[in-house]
Amino acid sequence: MNEHFRISQKVGLLFRYDQPLPSDMQAWLKEQLQAASPALGIANRYTGVSEWPAELQPDLAKRAQHWRQYRTLEKQRRQGKNGQDTEAAKTANRLTNLWRNRDELKFSHRNVYGADQVKLRFTSFWTNHFTIGNTFDTGNMIGHAIDEGILAKLDGRFADMLYGITTHPGMLTYLDNVWSAGERSEQAKKCGRRVNCQAGLNDNLGRELLELHTLSPVAGYTEDDIHSAAQVLAGWGIDFESELNEMRQQTGTSDHWDAYKKRWAEPGSKNVFGQKIYAGKGGLRQLTNFLASHEHTIDFVSTKLCRHFVSDVPQQKEIDAVKGVWRQTQGDLPAIHAKVLELAVDSTRTKFLWPMTWLFQMVRLSGATYFKGWEGINNYSNELMNTRKVFAELGQSFWSSRQPNGYSDDKAEWMSAEMFERRLRFAEAIYLNGNPKRSVEKMMDRIDALPQTRELVASVGRSPKNQFVAFMCSPELMGLEYV
Protein backbone atom coordinates (compact mmCIF):
# COMPACT_ATOMS: atom_id res chain seq x y z
CA MET A 1 0.00 0.00 0.00
CA ASN A 2 1.39 3.41 -0.93
CA GLU A 3 1.97 6.16 1.63
CA HIS A 4 -1.24 8.05 0.86
CA PHE A 5 -3.39 5.08 1.67
CA ARG A 6 -1.21 3.56 4.39
CA ILE A 7 -1.48 6.78 6.39
CA SER A 8 -5.15 7.47 5.63
CA GLN A 9 -6.05 3.88 6.49
CA LYS A 10 -4.27 4.04 9.84
CA VAL A 11 -5.47 7.43 11.06
CA GLY A 12 -8.33 8.34 8.74
CA LEU A 13 -11.03 6.84 6.57
CA LEU A 14 -9.19 6.46 3.23
CA PHE A 15 -9.43 8.87 0.32
CA ARG A 16 -12.70 8.70 -1.56
CA TYR A 17 -12.66 7.06 -4.97
CA ASP A 18 -12.54 10.38 -6.89
CA GLN A 19 -10.66 12.52 -4.36
CA PRO A 20 -7.34 14.03 -5.52
CA LEU A 21 -4.42 12.80 -3.45
CA PRO A 22 -2.37 15.38 -1.52
CA SER A 23 1.15 16.11 -2.73
CA ASP A 24 2.43 16.43 0.84
CA MET A 25 0.96 14.02 3.37
CA GLN A 26 2.61 15.72 6.35
CA ALA A 27 1.01 19.03 5.41
CA TRP A 28 -2.28 17.22 4.82
CA LEU A 29 -2.22 15.75 8.33
CA LYS A 30 -1.72 19.21 9.86
CA GLU A 31 -4.57 20.59 7.77
CA GLN A 32 -6.80 17.72 8.84
CA LEU A 33 -6.47 18.63 12.50
CA GLN A 34 -7.66 22.17 11.70
CA ALA A 35 -10.27 21.22 9.10
CA ALA A 36 -13.85 22.43 9.27
CA SER A 37 -16.33 19.69 10.14
CA PRO A 38 -19.68 20.27 8.45
CA ALA A 39 -22.18 17.41 8.45
CA LEU A 40 -22.04 16.27 4.81
CA GLY A 41 -24.26 13.73 3.14
CA ILE A 42 -26.68 13.07 0.29
CA ALA A 43 -30.39 13.78 -0.08
CA ASN A 44 -30.78 10.63 -2.18
CA ARG A 45 -28.57 8.30 -4.15
CA TYR A 46 -28.78 10.43 -7.30
CA THR A 47 -27.77 13.77 -5.78
CA GLY A 48 -24.38 15.20 -4.98
CA VAL A 49 -22.81 15.71 -1.59
CA SER A 50 -24.07 18.70 0.40
CA GLU A 51 -24.60 19.82 4.00
CA TRP A 52 -27.26 18.19 6.09
CA PRO A 53 -30.44 20.31 6.51
CA ALA A 54 -30.48 22.39 9.67
CA GLU A 55 -33.85 20.99 10.71
CA LEU A 56 -32.30 17.51 10.91
CA GLN A 57 -29.73 18.71 13.45
CA PRO A 58 -31.88 19.87 16.39
CA ASP A 59 -30.63 21.30 19.66
CA LEU A 60 -31.36 19.72 23.03
CA ALA A 61 -34.48 21.80 23.64
CA LYS A 62 -36.06 20.51 20.43
CA ARG A 63 -35.08 16.94 21.23
CA ALA A 64 -36.60 17.19 24.71
CA GLN A 65 -39.78 18.70 23.27
CA HIS A 66 -40.20 15.80 20.85
CA TRP A 67 -39.50 13.29 23.60
CA ARG A 68 -42.21 14.75 25.83
CA GLN A 69 -44.60 14.73 22.86
CA TYR A 70 -43.82 11.07 22.24
CA ARG A 71 -44.39 10.14 25.90
CA THR A 72 -47.74 11.93 25.96
CA LEU A 73 -48.91 10.20 22.80
CA GLU A 74 -47.63 6.85 24.01
CA LYS A 75 -49.72 7.25 27.16
CA GLN A 76 -52.77 8.02 25.03
CA ARG A 77 -52.08 4.96 22.90
CA ARG A 78 -52.00 2.69 25.94
CA GLN A 79 -55.33 4.09 27.07
CA GLY A 80 -56.97 3.43 23.68
CA LYS A 81 -60.03 1.19 23.68
CA ASN A 82 -59.18 -2.48 23.20
CA GLY A 83 -55.72 -1.52 21.99
CA GLN A 84 -57.14 -0.10 18.76
CA ASP A 85 -54.71 1.79 16.49
CA THR A 86 -55.66 5.38 17.22
CA GLU A 87 -54.22 8.46 15.57
CA ALA A 88 -52.19 9.01 18.72
CA ALA A 89 -50.68 5.55 18.34
CA LYS A 90 -49.68 6.24 14.73
CA THR A 91 -48.04 9.52 15.69
CA ALA A 92 -46.31 7.93 18.68
CA ASN A 93 -44.89 5.21 16.49
CA ARG A 94 -43.51 7.80 14.09
CA LEU A 95 -41.85 9.63 16.97
CA THR A 96 -40.29 6.53 18.50
CA ASN A 97 -36.49 6.82 18.29
CA LEU A 98 -37.06 9.90 16.15
CA TRP A 99 -33.62 11.42 16.48
CA ARG A 100 -31.72 8.19 16.91
CA ASN A 101 -32.59 7.17 13.35
CA ARG A 102 -31.55 10.53 11.93
CA ASP A 103 -28.41 10.79 14.03
CA GLU A 104 -27.23 7.32 13.05
CA LEU A 105 -27.69 8.17 9.39
CA LYS A 106 -25.96 11.54 9.78
CA PHE A 107 -23.04 9.86 11.55
CA SER A 108 -22.76 7.36 8.68
CA HIS A 109 -22.95 10.09 6.06
CA ARG A 110 -20.30 12.14 7.83
CA ASN A 111 -17.89 9.21 7.84
CA VAL A 112 -18.56 8.31 4.20
CA TYR A 113 -18.70 11.79 2.64
CA GLY A 114 -16.76 13.97 5.08
CA ALA A 115 -13.49 15.62 4.04
CA ASP A 116 -12.30 15.85 7.67
CA GLN A 117 -11.55 12.12 7.88
CA VAL A 118 -8.85 12.35 10.55
CA LYS A 119 -11.04 14.43 12.85
CA LEU A 120 -13.82 11.92 12.35
CA ARG A 121 -11.54 9.07 13.42
CA PHE A 122 -10.66 10.96 16.60
CA THR A 123 -14.36 11.63 17.10
CA SER A 124 -15.08 7.90 17.06
CA PHE A 125 -12.22 7.24 19.47
CA TRP A 126 -13.45 9.78 22.04
CA THR A 127 -17.09 8.78 21.56
CA ASN A 128 -16.09 5.25 22.52
CA HIS A 129 -13.97 6.46 25.43
CA PHE A 130 -16.91 8.45 26.81
CA THR A 131 -19.50 5.77 26.18
CA ILE A 132 -23.19 6.70 26.32
CA GLY A 133 -25.31 3.60 25.77
CA ASN A 134 -28.92 3.61 24.63
CA THR A 135 -31.05 3.42 27.77
CA PHE A 136 -34.16 5.36 28.82
CA ASP A 137 -34.28 8.27 26.33
CA THR A 138 -30.54 8.55 25.65
CA GLY A 139 -31.01 7.30 22.09
CA ASN A 140 -32.31 10.77 21.29
CA MET A 141 -29.30 12.47 22.93
CA ILE A 142 -26.31 10.42 21.74
CA GLY A 143 -26.05 12.12 18.36
CA HIS A 144 -26.00 15.55 20.00
CA ALA A 145 -23.32 14.38 22.44
CA ILE A 146 -21.16 13.17 19.53
CA ASP A 147 -21.55 16.39 17.54
CA GLU A 148 -21.37 18.96 20.33
CA GLY A 149 -19.70 17.12 23.21
CA ILE A 150 -16.94 15.41 21.20
CA LEU A 151 -16.40 16.69 17.65
CA ALA A 152 -16.95 20.34 18.54
CA LYS A 153 -14.42 20.07 21.38
CA LEU A 154 -11.54 18.43 19.48
CA ASP A 155 -9.84 21.82 19.15
CA GLY A 156 -9.74 22.44 22.91
CA ARG A 157 -8.36 20.84 26.05
CA PHE A 158 -9.09 17.39 27.41
CA ALA A 159 -10.36 19.04 30.61
CA ASP A 160 -13.02 20.90 28.63
CA MET A 161 -14.15 17.78 26.81
CA LEU A 162 -14.24 15.84 30.08
CA TYR A 163 -16.38 18.45 31.82
CA GLY A 164 -18.62 18.92 28.78
CA ILE A 165 -19.38 15.24 28.26
CA THR A 166 -19.77 14.58 32.00
CA THR A 167 -22.45 17.29 32.22
CA HIS A 168 -24.15 16.35 28.95
CA PRO A 169 -27.72 15.16 29.60
CA GLY A 170 -26.99 12.00 27.62
CA MET A 171 -24.25 10.94 30.04
CA LEU A 172 -26.18 12.10 33.11
CA THR A 173 -29.21 10.09 32.01
CA TYR A 174 -27.33 7.00 30.83
CA LEU A 175 -25.59 6.56 34.19
CA ASP A 176 -28.66 7.49 36.28
CA ASN A 177 -27.27 10.73 37.68
CA VAL A 178 -30.44 12.68 36.86
CA TRP A 179 -32.11 10.78 39.73
CA SER A 180 -29.20 10.97 42.18
CA ALA A 181 -29.57 13.01 45.37
CA GLY A 182 -27.10 13.51 48.18
CA GLU A 183 -27.85 11.68 51.43
CA ARG A 184 -27.96 14.97 53.33
CA SER A 185 -29.58 17.00 50.55
CA GLU A 186 -32.82 18.94 50.96
CA GLN A 187 -34.47 16.50 48.58
CA ALA A 188 -33.48 13.52 50.75
CA LYS A 189 -34.77 15.24 53.88
CA LYS A 190 -38.06 16.09 52.21
CA CYS A 191 -38.50 12.51 51.00
CA GLY A 192 -37.79 11.22 54.47
CA ARG A 193 -40.98 12.94 55.65
CA ARG A 194 -43.22 11.65 52.84
CA VAL A 195 -44.70 8.30 51.89
CA ASN A 196 -43.65 6.74 48.58
CA CYS A 197 -40.90 9.29 48.04
CA GLN A 198 -37.42 8.01 47.26
CA ALA A 199 -34.18 9.95 47.05
CA GLY A 200 -30.77 8.35 47.18
CA LEU A 201 -27.23 8.69 45.93
CA ASN A 202 -26.34 6.83 42.73
CA ASP A 203 -22.64 6.22 42.24
CA ASN A 204 -22.73 4.96 38.62
CA LEU A 205 -21.32 8.10 37.02
CA GLY A 206 -18.90 8.72 39.88
CA ARG A 207 -17.51 5.22 39.40
CA GLU A 208 -17.15 5.47 35.62
CA LEU A 209 -15.66 8.95 35.85
CA LEU A 210 -12.77 7.52 37.86
CA GLU A 211 -12.56 4.04 36.34
CA LEU A 212 -13.13 4.59 32.63
CA HIS A 213 -12.89 8.27 31.82
CA THR A 214 -9.84 9.34 33.83
CA LEU A 215 -7.68 7.61 36.46
CA SER A 216 -8.35 3.89 35.76
CA PRO A 217 -8.24 1.28 38.54
CA VAL A 218 -4.43 1.27 38.42
CA ALA A 219 -4.58 4.54 40.38
CA GLY A 220 -5.78 2.68 43.46
CA TYR A 221 -8.75 4.87 44.34
CA THR A 222 -11.17 3.50 46.92
CA GLU A 223 -14.91 3.03 47.26
CA ASP A 224 -14.87 6.13 49.45
CA ASP A 225 -13.41 8.10 46.53
CA ILE A 226 -16.19 6.81 44.26
CA HIS A 227 -18.79 7.74 46.86
CA SER A 228 -17.32 11.23 47.21
CA ALA A 229 -17.26 11.70 43.41
CA ALA A 230 -20.94 10.70 43.34
CA GLN A 231 -21.64 13.29 46.02
CA VAL A 232 -19.99 15.97 43.87
CA LEU A 233 -22.20 14.87 40.96
CA ALA A 234 -25.43 14.76 43.02
CA GLY A 235 -27.95 17.24 41.68
CA TRP A 236 -26.57 17.38 38.14
CA GLY A 237 -29.09 16.71 35.38
CA ILE A 238 -32.82 16.46 34.86
CA ASP A 239 -34.68 13.92 32.77
CA PHE A 240 -35.97 14.82 29.31
CA GLU A 241 -39.54 14.10 30.34
CA SER A 242 -39.68 17.04 32.78
CA GLU A 243 -41.85 19.92 31.60
CA LEU A 244 -40.06 23.24 31.07
CA ASN A 245 -41.78 24.92 34.02
CA GLU A 246 -40.74 22.10 36.31
CA MET A 247 -37.21 22.21 34.95
CA ARG A 248 -36.88 25.97 35.47
CA GLN A 249 -38.29 25.64 38.97
CA GLN A 250 -35.77 22.96 39.93
CA THR A 251 -32.68 24.20 38.08
CA GLY A 252 -33.27 27.88 37.29
CA THR A 253 -32.59 27.23 33.61
CA SER A 254 -34.15 25.72 30.49
CA ASP A 255 -30.75 24.52 29.26
CA HIS A 256 -30.45 20.75 29.68
CA TRP A 257 -26.66 21.02 29.40
CA ASP A 258 -26.47 23.23 32.48
CA ALA A 259 -29.15 21.67 34.66
CA TYR A 260 -28.13 21.58 38.32
CA LYS A 261 -30.70 20.91 41.04
CA LYS A 262 -29.34 22.66 44.12
CA ARG A 263 -31.92 21.02 46.41
CA TRP A 264 -30.59 17.60 45.37
CA ALA A 265 -26.94 18.46 45.96
CA GLU A 266 -24.88 17.08 48.82
CA PRO A 267 -23.86 19.95 51.13
CA GLY A 268 -20.30 20.48 52.33
CA SER A 269 -16.90 19.85 50.81
CA LYS A 270 -15.78 16.39 49.64
CA ASN A 271 -12.46 14.61 49.35
CA VAL A 272 -11.79 12.71 46.12
CA PHE A 273 -8.46 10.92 45.77
CA GLY A 274 -6.78 13.34 48.14
CA GLN A 275 -8.23 16.47 46.55
CA LYS A 276 -10.61 18.71 48.51
CA ILE A 277 -13.64 19.58 46.37
CA TYR A 278 -15.79 22.47 47.50
CA ALA A 279 -19.58 22.42 47.72
CA GLY A 280 -21.82 23.85 45.05
CA LYS A 281 -22.20 23.70 41.31
CA GLY A 282 -18.59 24.67 40.64
CA GLY A 283 -17.34 21.63 42.52
CA LEU A 284 -17.76 19.39 39.49
CA ARG A 285 -15.55 21.59 37.32
CA GLN A 286 -12.97 21.58 40.08
CA LEU A 287 -13.11 17.77 40.18
CA THR A 288 -12.90 17.23 36.41
CA ASN A 289 -9.99 19.69 36.12
CA PHE A 290 -8.15 17.80 38.86
CA LEU A 291 -8.79 14.43 37.22
CA ALA A 292 -7.92 15.68 33.71
CA SER A 293 -4.41 16.70 34.77
CA HIS A 294 -3.68 13.72 37.02
CA GLU A 295 -0.70 11.57 36.07
CA HIS A 296 -2.75 8.37 36.13
CA THR A 297 -5.24 9.91 33.68
CA ILE A 298 -2.45 11.04 31.38
CA ASP A 299 -0.93 7.55 31.35
CA PHE A 300 -4.25 5.71 30.93
CA VAL A 301 -5.61 7.82 28.07
CA SER A 302 -2.25 8.17 26.29
CA THR A 303 -1.96 4.39 26.24
CA LYS A 304 -5.48 4.06 24.80
CA LEU A 305 -4.70 6.58 22.06
CA CYS A 306 -1.54 4.73 21.06
CA ARG A 307 -3.32 1.37 21.10
CA HIS A 308 -6.08 2.71 18.88
CA PHE A 309 -3.97 4.53 16.29
CA VAL A 310 -0.32 3.45 16.46
CA SER A 311 -0.18 -0.28 17.10
CA ASP A 312 -2.11 -3.12 18.71
CA VAL A 313 0.81 -3.33 21.16
CA PRO A 314 2.34 0.16 21.41
CA GLN A 315 5.87 0.61 22.68
CA GLN A 316 6.43 2.35 26.00
CA LYS A 317 8.49 5.06 24.33
CA GLU A 318 5.52 5.89 22.11
CA ILE A 319 3.20 6.17 25.10
CA ASP A 320 5.77 8.30 26.92
CA ALA A 321 5.99 10.66 23.94
CA VAL A 322 2.24 11.31 24.05
CA LYS A 323 2.37 11.76 27.82
CA GLY A 324 5.16 14.29 27.43
CA VAL A 325 3.11 16.44 25.06
CA TRP A 326 0.09 16.14 27.36
CA ARG A 327 2.10 17.51 30.29
CA GLN A 328 3.79 20.25 28.27
CA THR A 329 0.52 21.57 26.85
CA GLN A 330 -1.76 20.95 29.85
CA GLY A 331 -3.88 18.51 27.86
CA ASP A 332 -4.21 20.43 24.59
CA LEU A 333 -5.99 17.97 22.30
CA PRO A 334 -4.68 19.24 18.92
CA ALA A 335 -1.10 18.92 20.20
CA ILE A 336 -1.78 15.48 21.67
CA HIS A 337 -3.47 14.33 18.48
CA ALA A 338 -0.60 15.68 16.36
CA LYS A 339 1.87 13.57 18.34
CA VAL A 340 -0.32 10.49 18.01
CA LEU A 341 -0.48 11.02 14.24
CA GLU A 342 3.29 11.43 14.05
CA LEU A 343 3.84 8.17 15.91
CA ALA A 344 1.23 6.34 13.83
CA VAL A 345 2.84 7.47 10.57
CA ASP A 346 6.36 6.62 11.72
CA SER A 347 5.35 3.15 12.89
CA THR A 348 5.51 0.46 10.21
CA ARG A 349 3.41 -1.92 12.31
CA THR A 350 -0.12 -2.63 11.12
CA LYS A 351 -3.18 -1.57 13.09
CA PHE A 352 -6.26 -3.74 12.97
CA LEU A 353 -9.38 -1.77 12.05
CA TRP A 354 -12.67 -1.75 13.91
CA PRO A 355 -15.50 -3.24 11.81
CA MET A 356 -17.20 0.17 11.68
CA THR A 357 -14.04 1.92 10.48
CA TRP A 358 -13.40 -0.79 7.90
CA LEU A 359 -16.92 -0.46 6.50
CA PHE A 360 -16.66 3.32 6.08
CA GLN A 361 -13.28 2.94 4.40
CA MET A 362 -14.55 0.34 1.95
CA VAL A 363 -17.53 2.47 0.95
CA ARG A 364 -15.29 5.52 0.44
CA LEU A 365 -12.67 3.63 -1.55
CA SER A 366 -15.18 1.98 -3.87
CA GLY A 367 -17.48 5.00 -4.29
CA ALA A 368 -20.51 2.88 -3.41
CA THR A 369 -23.78 4.51 -2.35
CA TYR A 370 -24.42 2.21 0.56
CA PHE A 371 -26.50 4.33 2.95
CA LYS A 372 -29.81 5.94 2.04
CA GLY A 373 -30.07 9.70 1.71
CA TRP A 374 -31.80 11.89 4.29
CA GLU A 375 -34.88 12.14 2.06
CA GLY A 376 -35.34 8.39 2.53
CA ILE A 377 -35.14 8.31 6.31
CA ASN A 378 -38.69 6.94 6.54
CA ASN A 379 -38.25 4.59 3.60
CA TYR A 380 -37.79 1.09 5.02
CA SER A 381 -37.10 -0.71 1.75
CA ASN A 382 -34.03 -2.94 1.63
CA GLU A 383 -32.59 -1.28 -1.46
CA LEU A 384 -30.16 0.64 0.71
CA MET A 385 -29.08 -0.66 4.07
CA ASN A 386 -30.74 0.54 7.25
CA THR A 387 -28.16 2.04 9.62
CA ARG A 388 -29.52 0.30 12.71
CA LYS A 389 -29.32 -3.09 11.02
CA VAL A 390 -25.86 -2.31 9.67
CA PHE A 391 -24.34 -1.38 13.03
CA ALA A 392 -26.11 -4.20 14.84
CA GLU A 393 -24.72 -6.71 12.34
CA LEU A 394 -21.25 -5.19 12.65
CA GLY A 395 -21.49 -5.62 16.41
CA GLN A 396 -20.50 -1.99 16.86
CA SER A 397 -23.11 0.71 17.33
CA PHE A 398 -22.71 3.88 19.38
CA TRP A 399 -26.51 3.79 19.75
CA SER A 400 -26.77 0.27 21.16
CA SER A 401 -27.57 -0.70 24.75
CA ARG A 402 -23.93 -1.20 25.63
CA GLN A 403 -21.69 -1.30 28.67
CA PRO A 404 -19.83 1.84 29.79
CA ASN A 405 -16.39 0.38 28.98
CA GLY A 406 -16.92 0.82 25.23
CA TYR A 407 -15.69 -1.33 22.35
CA SER A 408 -12.37 -3.10 22.66
CA ASP A 409 -9.25 -2.21 20.67
CA ASP A 410 -8.00 -5.78 21.11
CA LYS A 411 -8.20 -7.37 17.68
CA ALA A 412 -8.81 -10.76 19.30
CA GLU A 413 -12.29 -9.49 20.19
CA TRP A 414 -13.11 -9.07 16.47
CA MET A 415 -11.25 -11.99 14.87
CA SER A 416 -13.70 -14.85 15.30
CA ALA A 417 -14.90 -16.83 12.30
CA GLU A 418 -18.36 -15.33 12.81
CA MET A 419 -17.08 -11.74 12.71
CA PHE A 420 -15.04 -12.43 9.58
CA GLU A 421 -18.04 -14.06 7.91
CA ARG A 422 -19.99 -10.89 8.60
CA ARG A 423 -17.39 -8.83 6.76
CA LEU A 424 -17.70 -11.16 3.79
CA ARG A 425 -21.45 -10.56 3.74
CA PHE A 426 -21.00 -6.80 4.08
CA ALA A 427 -18.54 -6.70 1.19
CA GLU A 428 -21.02 -8.64 -0.94
CA ALA A 429 -23.84 -6.26 0.08
CA ILE A 430 -21.74 -3.23 -0.88
CA TYR A 431 -21.13 -4.76 -4.30
CA LEU A 432 -24.74 -5.84 -4.91
CA ASN A 433 -26.57 -2.83 -3.45
CA GLY A 434 -24.12 0.06 -3.51
CA ASN A 435 -23.19 0.31 -7.20
CA PRO A 436 -19.42 0.79 -6.68
CA LYS A 437 -17.86 3.41 -8.96
CA ARG A 438 -14.46 1.71 -9.30
CA SER A 439 -13.42 -1.76 -10.40
CA VAL A 440 -11.23 -3.90 -8.20
CA GLU A 441 -8.33 -3.50 -10.63
CA LYS A 442 -8.52 0.31 -10.49
CA MET A 443 -8.80 0.28 -6.70
CA MET A 444 -5.78 -1.99 -6.37
CA ASP A 445 -3.79 0.28 -8.66
CA ARG A 446 -4.91 3.39 -6.76
CA ILE A 447 -3.69 2.09 -3.40
CA ASP A 448 -0.72 0.20 -4.91
CA ALA A 449 -1.97 -3.06 -3.39
CA LEU A 450 0.50 -5.63 -2.13
CA PRO A 451 1.37 -8.59 -4.38
CA GLN A 452 -0.26 -10.91 -1.82
CA THR A 453 -3.52 -8.98 -2.17
CA ARG A 454 -3.41 -9.23 -5.96
CA GLU A 455 -2.74 -12.94 -5.71
CA LEU A 456 -5.68 -13.36 -3.34
CA VAL A 457 -8.01 -11.54 -5.74
CA ALA A 458 -6.77 -13.60 -8.69
CA SER A 459 -7.28 -16.83 -6.78
CA VAL A 460 -11.10 -16.43 -6.62
CA GLY A 461 -11.59 -16.49 -10.39
CA ARG A 462 -13.01 -13.91 -12.80
CA SER A 463 -16.28 -13.13 -11.04
CA PRO A 464 -16.30 -9.34 -10.39
CA LYS A 465 -18.33 -9.91 -7.23
CA ASN A 466 -15.98 -12.53 -5.83
CA GLN A 467 -12.98 -10.36 -6.65
CA PHE A 468 -14.60 -7.38 -4.91
CA VAL A 469 -15.31 -9.42 -1.77
CA ALA A 470 -11.82 -10.91 -1.71
CA PHE A 471 -10.23 -7.47 -2.07
CA MET A 472 -12.38 -5.81 0.59
CA CYS A 473 -11.75 -8.63 3.06
CA SER A 474 -8.04 -9.00 2.35
CA PRO A 475 -5.65 -8.70 5.31
CA GLU A 476 -4.26 -5.52 3.75
CA LEU A 477 -7.60 -3.72 3.90
CA MET A 478 -8.42 -4.94 7.40
CA GLY A 479 -5.13 -3.77 8.88
CA LEU A 480 -3.58 -7.22 9.30
CA GLU A 481 -0.23 -8.75 8.40
CA TYR A 482 -0.06 -11.51 5.82
CA VAL A 483 1.11 -14.79 7.32
pLDDT of residue 382 exceeding 60, the answer is: no
- In the structure, what pLDDT confidence band is assigned to residue 376 with cuts at 50, 70 and 90? confident
Number of Cβ within a 10 Å radius of residue 399: 24
**For position 73, what pLDDT does the model report?**
78
- In the structure, what pLDDT confidence band is assigned to residue 8 with cuts at 50, 70 and 90? very high
Spatial distance between the Cα atoms of 283 and 289, rounded to a whole number of angstroms: 10
**For position 72, what pLDDT does the model report?**
80
**For position 306, what pLDDT does the model report?**
98
123 closest CA partner among 19, 37, 215? 37
**For position 75, what pLDDT does the model report?**
76
**For position 45, what pLDDT does the model report?**
87
pLDDT of residue 41 exceeding 80, the answer is: yes
Model confidence pLDDT, tens digit, residues 290-341: 999 999 999 999 999 999 999 999 999 999 999 999 999 999 999 999 999 9
Quick one: the chain helix, strand, coil %, rounded to 5? 60, 5, 35
Instruction: Using alpha carbons, list the distances in angstroms from residue 398 to 102, 109, 140.
Output: 13, 15, 12
Angle between helices 387-394 and 98-113 (to 10 degrees): 70
**Percentage of the chain modeled with pLDDT above 70:** 94
pLDDT of residue 86 exceeding 70, the answer is: no
Average pLDDT of 221-249?
95
Model confidence pLDDT, tens digit, residues 153-211: 999 999 999 999 999 999 999 999 999 999 999 999 888 777 667 779 999 999 999 99
Spatial distance between the Cα atoms of 140 and 137, rounded to a whole number of angstroms: 6
Lowest mean pLDDT among 30-44, 90-104, 230-244, 415-429: 90-104
Residues 6+ apart with CB under 8 A from 175: 202, 204, 205, 208, 404
**For position 127, what pLDDT does the model report?**
98
pLDDT of residue 441 exceeding 70, the answer is: yes
Spatial distance between the Cα atoms of 161 and 292, rounded to a whole number of angstroms: 10
What are the structural domain ranges in the chain? 176-349, 355-478
158 closest CA partner among 324, 291, 261? 291
Residues 6+ apart with CB under 8 A from 340: 11, 305, 306, 309, 310, 322
139 closest CA partner among 178, 108, 106, 100? 100
Lowest mean pLDDT among 64-68, 127-131, 294-298: 64-68
Query: Do residues 369 and 42 lie in contact, with contact meaning Cβ atoms separated by under 8 Å?
Result: yes
Residues 6+ apart with CB under 8 A from 355: 394, 395, 396, 414, 419, 422, 423
374 closest CA partner among 101, 129, 137, 120? 101
Amino acid symbol at 234: A
Spatial distance between the Cα atoms of 372 and 378, rounded to a whole number of angstroms: 10
Query: Do residues 68 and 39 lie in contact, with contact meaning Cβ atoms separated by under 8 Å?
Result: no
Model confidence pLDDT, tens digit, residues 15-40: 999 999 999 999 999 999 999 999 99
- In the structure, what pLDDT confidence band is assigned to residue 83 with cuts at 50, 70 and 90? low
**For position 157, what pLDDT does the model report?**
98
Average pLDDT of 415-443?
95
130 closest CA partner among 167, 166, 180? 166
Average pLDDT, the chain: 93
**For position 241, what pLDDT does the model report?**
86
Per-residue exposure over 200-213, b if at least 16 CB sit within 10 Å of its own CB, e if not: ebbbbbbbbbbbbb
**For position 386, what pLDDT does the model report?**
83
Spatial distance between the Cα atoms of 98 and 66, rounded to a whole number of angstroms: 8
- In the structure, what pLDDT confidence band is assigned to residue 68 with cuts at 50, 70 and 90? confident
Residues 6+ apart with CB under 8 A from 295: none
